[in-house]
Structure 1
Amino acid sequence: MANTVYVQTAANLFCGDDDPTKSKHLTLEEMRLPSLEENYGEHTPGGALIGVEFSLGIKKLEAGFKLKGFDPNLLSQFGLGSKQRNVYTSYGVIVDKRTGRAIESKAIIEARLGRISQDAFQRGQLAGCDYALNEIVSYQLWFDNKEKIAWDFFTNVWRIDGIDQNADENTILRIGTA
């Protein structure tokens, strides 16, 4: 891949998979995909001069979005109103600044809508709501129709660029991924 700069220029979000009536393209102000962050544990051996930190896995995933206006349909997806997780699919337009080509990015998140935080009302201002996605149990990130990241809590799958990073561990622990 030649040196270039990729810039996201547009986004859309479906709250409840790809049902066309659930598109948020008119109200979406912000979409926060999960941050990828490792957990580390520190260790300073008794006979060592300098300590070290070891990677111990990946922290839980959190994501969210902000919509302008009020969305009564999302209230029924919130926390105790819904005992199940929902699928949230985000599409982005990424422009290759070298060639001008528009590229699709896609994120699929299975989660619970765990927080709805309304902006304060001010006359003459367009208020909105911040939404938090919690209890994320599945996450996929696609770029240019290629899977970049795939993680599933229940099957213990962790793929990067289509390669299962957890295959050896799953084999040793006799965890099926089918």
Structure 2
Amino acid sequence: MAKNLPAYVLRDCTLFVDKESHIGQTDEIVLPVLEVKTEEMRNGGMIKPRRIHLGYSTTDASFTFTSFDPALISLFGLEAGKEIPIIAYGYFQDEDGVSHDGRAEMRGFFTKNDAGTWKAGDVASNATEFTAHSYRIFMDEEEILSVDDFEVKRNGVSERPGRRTALRFD
């Protein structure tokens, strides 16, 4: 990649929901946002409080479809414990022509389904919201981020490597 040229520019994307392709039917994909949950703390002797890292907020995603797919709508409100697999695929290209394939894998459930407004002559949309219990992001088949209820890994390295052992997860 030549220096000072844009890299990893998203050129196209699609979505698979519960192993079914929605190519050509996905208008927008909003991947889960990893946001640090903080709280102010001031111990004895401190002249000002400081924010401490308490973990992460829930990881939610959203998807907008240009189709009114009954199979997709039927996935809303499934009973507790049934997680839906969702995979977003992206085609990225550097300005020097090098191509990259990206993938975001999520597991969780739909929390909202908005069938939108139906109007003759306009494209109908179906907006959904999804809570991801776990998700992983890959670029060129290498895992760059992994998040679940107990751990965050960046490039395969755990954020808190001794935590699983200390809490007897393994």
Q: Could you tell me how far 1:92 is from its partner in structure 2?
A: 0.2
Q: CA deviation at 1:131?
A: 0.9
Q: Is the 8 A contact 1:76 1:82 kept in 2?
A: no
The share of aligned pairs that are identical, in percent, is 26
For 2:127 and 2:61, locate their aligned partners in 1 and report how far apart those are by CA, in whole Å: 11
Of the candidates 88, 91, 94, which is equivalent to residue 90 of structure 1?
88
Matching of residue 174 in structure 1 with residue 168 in structure 2: yes
Task: Provide the C-alpha distance between the structure 2 equivalents of 1:169 and 1:131, rounded to a whole number of angstroms.
Answer: 34
**How many aligned positions are there?**
168
Tell me the CA shift for residue 2 of structure 1: 6.1
> Comparing 1-10 with 23-32, which one deviates more in the overlay?
1-10
Aligned mate of 1:143, from 127, 139, 143: 139
2:12 maps to what in 1? Answer: 10
| Structure 1 residues without counterparts, runs of 5 or longer | none
- Structure 1 residue 126: deviation in Å? 0.8
Q: 1:123 to 1:142 in 2, by over 3 A?
A: same
> Which TM-score applies when normalising by structure 2?
0.90
User: Which residue does the alignment assign to 1:127?
Assistant: 124
Matched, 1:53 2:47: no
Following the alignment from structure 1 to structure 2, what is the Cα–Cα distance between the partners of residues 82 and 39?
25
Q: Provide the residue aligned with 2:158 in structure 1.
A: 164
TM-score (norm 1): 0.86
* Aligned Cα root-mean-square deviation (Å): 1.9
> CA-to-partner distance for each residue in 1:141-164, whole Å, 9 max, x for gaps?
0012110111233xx342110112
CA–CA distance in structure 2, aligned partners of residues 118 and 151 of structure 1: 30
| Aligned partner of 2:104 among 102, 107, 114 | 107
Please state which structure has a larger fraction of its residues in helix.
Answer: 1
